[in-house]
């Protein structure tokens, strides 16, 4: 049978009409087959959809874990740094943000040290550059501890000049004549001519350059108490009396603040507790020198203001 014959036969069926009984039978068979197909597809899709969702979640977790655990020698490290920097704005609490920034800086310093220890200078240099950017962010975000001003020294009193006592002249005794004794000439030994001395060159010391301490992230902790020994909660901890109150003690009287300071710098920390009207009720002032990246103040006892 060729194509022309098939086309003619199909064209002849266009005008034919199927018996109603046969038509209903075929319709029911088609509807039953369609219902069975839909039921089988429903079970398949019911299993397939959770499987696809679980696979998508597992894939996202795997990519996220690989990205957040990427080292400095990985191509995903730049993506990790970008995500970690974006997460800074999610820490709305100033102390939480300060702790997160200090953690970021320490992590990137440790990663750079690890790469340097294994001899990967290229990746270590890239991580060191990221570390410097992180340090700039830390210095910009953390409150800077003000330099404590020392009071000027009072000038020493000037003593009035006193007149020197003039010694009175004492009478000199009159000379007494003594008998003249003839001296015998004694031959002197020959004197030696001293050898010429060679002058030694004068060595001048080279002045050492003055090293300026760079700011570091300083974490200050302690516990505040009332004069009667009870724990003081809600006490403002500030580096300046004009600064806003961002750090307060907890219900246990403890506090933790992170600032930017220098080694050897003298810090003055103010503790103030106010009443409902904003008046200061208790106050304490602590001054301490920075010696490391942490400063423990111990127990701070407030005094009645």
Strand partners, 286: 269
> Do residues 121 and 70 touch, judged by C-beta distance below 8 A?
no
Q: Could you tell me the strand order of the sheet in which 247-248 lies?
A: 247-248, 236-238, 266-274, 280-289, 303-304
**What's the total number of domains in the chain?**
3
CATH of the domain at 300: 2.60.40.10
Question: Is 112 among the domain residues?
Answer: yes
| pLDDT at residue 224, as a whole number | 94
| 142 burial level (CB within 10 Å; 0-12, 13-18, 19+) | buried
Q: Chunked in runs of 10, what are the mean pLDDT values of the chain (305 residues)?
A: 69 65 76 76 67 82 80 86 88 83 86 88 88 85 66 44 49 52 54 62 62 78 92 90 86 89 89 89 92 90 90
| pLDDT at residue 146, as a whole number | 73
Question: Is 4 among the domain residues?
Answer: no
What dihedral angle (degrees, nearest 10) is formed by the CA atoms of 124, 128, 129, 132?
Answer: 170
Helix axes 20-68, 77-86, angle to 10 degrees: 90
Considering the domain architecture, whether residues 291 and 220 belong to the same structural domain is answered as yes
Residue 144 phi, psi dihedral angles, 5° rounding: -90, 130
CA angle 128, 293, 91 (to 5 degrees): 70
Question: Is 267 among the domain residues?
Answer: yes
Q: Enumerate the H helices of 87-120 as residue ranges.
A: 94-117
CA angle 114, 116, 121 (to 5 degrees): 130
- Token look-up 């004197």 returns 191
Q: Give CA–CA dist 141/81, Å, rounded.
A: 17
Q: Other C-beta atoms within 10 Å of 51: how many?
A: 10
| pLDDT at residue 162, as a whole number | 47
Return the DSSP state at 104: H
Considering the domain architecture, whether residues 223 and 292 belong to the same structural domain is answered as yes
The last residue of a domain, from among 141, 156, 173: 141
| pLDDT at residue 157, as a whole number | 45
| pLDDT at residue 151, as a whole number | 45
Residue 167 phi, psi dihedral angles, 5° rounding: -70, 140
Q: Which of these, 281, 287, 280, lies nearest to 220 by C-alpha position?
A: 287
Q: Other C-beta atoms within 10 Å of 40: how many?
A: 10
Range of the domain at 111: 77-141
Q: Give CA–CA dist 215/112, Å, rounded.
A: 20
Question: Is 50 among the domain residues?
Answer: yes
Question: Is 271 among the domain residues?
Answer: yes
Question: Is 53 among the domain residues?
Answer: yes
| pLDDT at residue 249, as a whole number | 92
Q: List all residues 6 or more positions away from 286 whose beta carbon is below 8 Å from its beta carbon.
A: 268, 269, 271, 297, 300
| pLDDT at residue 222, as a whole number | 92
């Amino acid at each position: 049978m060729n194509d022309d014959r098939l086309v003619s036969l199909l064209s002849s069926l266009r005008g034919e009409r199927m018996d109603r009984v046969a038509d209903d039978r075929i319709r029911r068979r088609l509807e039953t087959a369609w219902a069975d197909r839909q039921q089988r597809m429903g079970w398949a899709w019911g299993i397939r959809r959770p499987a696809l969702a679980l696979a998508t979640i597992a894939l996202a977790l795997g990519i996220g874990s690989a990205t957040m655990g990427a080292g400095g020698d990985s191509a995903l490290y730049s993506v990790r740094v970008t995500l970690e920097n974006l997460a800074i704005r999610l820490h709305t609490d100033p102390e939480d943000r300060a702790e997160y920034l200090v953690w970021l800086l320490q992590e990137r310093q440790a990663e750079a040290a690890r790469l340097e220890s294994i001899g990967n200078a290229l990746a270590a240099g890239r991580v060191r550059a990221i570390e410097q950017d992180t340090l700039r962010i830390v210095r910009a975000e953390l409150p800077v501890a003000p330099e404590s001003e020392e009071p000027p020294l009072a000038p020493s009193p000037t003593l009035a000049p006193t007149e020197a006592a003039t010694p009175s002249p004492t009478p000199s005794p009159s000379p007494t004549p003594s008998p003249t004794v003839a001296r015998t000439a004694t031959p002197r030994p020959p004197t030696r001519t001293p050898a010429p001395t060679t002058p030694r060159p004068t060595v001048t010391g080279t002045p050492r350059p003055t090293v300026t301490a760079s700011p570091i992230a300083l974490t200050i902790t302690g516990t505040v108490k009332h004069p009667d020994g009870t724990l003081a909660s809600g006490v403002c901890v500030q580096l300046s009396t004009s600064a806003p109150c961002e750090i307060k003690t907890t219900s246990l009287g403890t506090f933790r603040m992170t600032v930017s300071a220098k080694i050897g710098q003298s810090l003055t920390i103010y503790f103030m507790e106010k009443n409902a009207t904003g008046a200061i009720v208790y106050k304490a002032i602590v001054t301490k020198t920075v010696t490391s990246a942490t400063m423990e103040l111990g127990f701070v006892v407030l005094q009645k203001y």
